[in-house]
Structure 1
Amino acid sequence: MGVIIKQSAYASIINYIGVAIGAVNMIFLFPEFLSKEELGLTKAMISMAVILSPFAQVGLARSTLRYFPRFNKAAEFIR
């Protein structure tokens, strides 16, 4: 159990560092280096990606199973 607690603490620290870096970017750096239009477009693209990503994941498993043999043959051809 000690290994699991150690790994979860490490993952939590890494997540908090990532959130802090993202907050610094969004609050201080993006407004400094981007115009209002560019900042709005960036935020809109990030929001659309977050909203649409579950819909992309719905069909990903099925299409992977269906087309994997074709990709596998292409990979063998390249080798």
Structure 2
Amino acid sequence: MNDSTHPAPDPIWDLAWSWVIRQHERATFTESDTEELRGWLLADPAHRLAYERAGRLWLAAGLVPPVNEIDIPGKQGPED
């Protein structure tokens, strides 16, 4: 049953949120991690959108921005 208290799982959102957390919880975010994230982001526009939403949620919750910011082609910024 799918209702407002038990929304359907969203694997894209879950993975996007995992990436945001990984960027903040790891002492180091390796070049390999960066390349893996970049590949995932470029694989599907929905990945990039979910990642950006997760990042905004992290910031809205008052959490610190990532220390391992990466350049994402086509990323929407506050200036857009």
Give the TM-score band, short-chain normalised: 0.3 to 0.5
User: Which protein, 1 or 2, shows the higher relative CO under an 8 Å CA cutoff with sep ≥ 6?
Assistant: 2
TM-score scaled to structure 2, two decimals?
0.32
TM-score scaled to structure 1, two decimals?
0.33
Higher helix fraction: Structure 1 or Structure 2?
1
User: Greater Rg, structure 1 or structure 2?
Assistant: 1
